[in-house]
Amino acid sequence: MAAPVSKQMTMQEAMSRFVRDGDCVILEGFTHLIPFAAAHELIRQGRRELTLVRLTPDLIFDQMIAAGCARKLIFSWAGNPGVGPLHAFRRAVEQQRPRALELEEYSHFGMTLRLAAGAANLPFLPTRNYAGSDLPRANPAIRPVTCPFTGEQIWAVPALTPDVAILHAQRADAEGNTQVWGLVGVHKEAAFAARRVVVVVEEIVPAETVRRDPNRTLIPGFRVDAVVAEPFGAHPSYVQGYYDRDNDFYQRWDDISREESGLAVYLEEWVHGVRDRAAYRAKMQETCERLRARPMPCEPVSYGY
């Protein structure tokens, strides 16, 4: 057997090689596994004119919008969960600051179907959703379609095939076989829908570790272009089994981001002011300790036959 090719590289290298100005980039993770370290590196590298895709833009896109990376947003729910609005997102939409932001808006179901269609190489997927809603009026890409078998009118959303998917996970081997547990969101759909895939993990593990538990693999290595090891790389979101969500920070973001100036100070200190995620981590060791997950292991299973 040929030795597997290592795709491991630094975050700086992965972002500069695989994300270009003007790309359509999906940075997924539903509450869980949000790739903040990658977003911060894209801000540091000054990426511009991006079409940013997420179901929930969350703090990660609030930061990228404020930093001027975004031209357009494709999304389904833009808020700070349980806290309030996303202030930078609202400033962009309501006051065109720092610039106008084009919106293409769906519901969560619509977004999951768009990615599933992209992943399956279909032009669209149908749904029983959207009748009576004004969403199709706001977004003409949500269209009625007639079932060829029953004549029933339902609705359709077009496939979404981003240029790049950036996905955080618990672990992968150096080849990019990526394992996730806990909430999986639309990670798999995003990985198969996108043209290029960058995986960011808490740890790189030997190939044997992955291959002893193949059911946990969400993304096969041959779909993956780059693997970046970045412990604590999803903070302030969380990684099941590694660290809890920094709910205090999500609360504090409301004050930090309320004014452009406050948000700029944050970006200066925590994004531009650190070289990489290791420096960010070193700057908040107490937080790392506070959020560290307690062990809750499950029984191993046998793959014997």
Partner 1 sequence: MASPPTTYEVMVTAAARRLRDGEVVFVGIGIPNVAANLARRTHCPHLILIYESGAVGAQPERLPISIGDPALVAGAAGVCSMSEVFQFYLQRGLIDVGFLGGAQIDRYGNLNTTVIGEYARPKVRLPGSGGACEIAALARRTLVVMPHKRRAFVPRVDFVTSPGFLSGGAERERLGLPGAGPEAVVTDLGVLQFDKETREMMLVSLHAGATQEQALENTGWPLRVASPLGRTEPPSEEELRVLREELGAKGSAS
Which residues, 6 or more positions from 1, have their beta carbon under 8 angstroms from its beta carbon? none
Half-sphere exposure of 100 (CA within 13 A, CB side): 2
Residue 106 in contact with partner 1, rule: CB under 8 A? yes
Half-sphere exposure of 105 (CA within 13 A, CB side): 13
Only segment of 4-12, 171-179, 192-200, 245-253 that touches partner 1 (CB under 8 A)? 245-253
Q: Closest distance between partner 1 and the C-beta of residue 106, in Å?
A: 7
Q: Closest distance between partner 1 and the C-beta of residue 75, in Å?
A: 7
Residue 109 in contact with partner 1, rule: CB under 8 A? yes
The residue (of 122 and 183) whose beta carbon lies closer to partner 1 is 183
Residue 23 in contact with partner 1, rule: CB under 8 A? no
* Sole binder of partner 1 in the list 115, 172, 228, 263 (CB under 8 A): 115
* Sole binder of partner 1 in the list 82, 140, 151, 300 (CB under 8 A): 82
Q: Closest distance between partner 1 and the C-beta of residue 85, in Å?
A: 7
* Sole binder of partner 1 in the list 71, 72, 98, 135 (CB under 8 A): 135
Tokens standing for residue 80: 């700070």
Helix axes 260-267, 87-95, angle to 10 degrees: 130
SS3 of 15, please? helix
Q: Closest distance between partner 1 and the C-beta of residue 179, in Å?
A: 14
* Subset of 166-195 contacting partner 1 (CB under 8 A): 181-189
Residue 132 in contact with partner 1, rule: CB under 8 A? yes
Buried b (16+ CB within 10 A) or exposed e, 223-256: bbbbbbbbbbbbbbbbbeebbebbeebbeebeeb
Binding mask 28-67 for partner 1 (x = CB under 8 A): --xxx----------------------xx-----------
Q: Closest distance between partner 1 and the C-beta of residue 133, in Å?
A: 5
Contact 239, 168 (CB under 8 A): yes
Q: What angle do CA 107, 109, 115 make, to 5 degrees?
A: 105
Tokens standing for residue 71: 């031209």
Tokens standing for residue 48: 């511009």
Long-range contacts of the stretch 95-103 (C-beta < 8 A, 24+): 97/260, 98/66, 98/68, 98/260, 99/68, 99/71, 101/65, 101/70, 101/71, 101/72, 101/73, 102/71, 102/72, 102/73, 103/72, 103/73, 103/75
* Sole binder of partner 1 in the list 8, 51, 63, 107 (CB under 8 A): 107
Q: Which residues bind partner 1 (CB under 8 A)?
A: 30-32, 55-56, 75-79, 81-82, 85-86, 89-90, 93-94, 105-109, 112-113, 115-116, 127-135, 137-138, 152-153, 181-189, 238, 240, 244-245, 247, 250, 293, 296
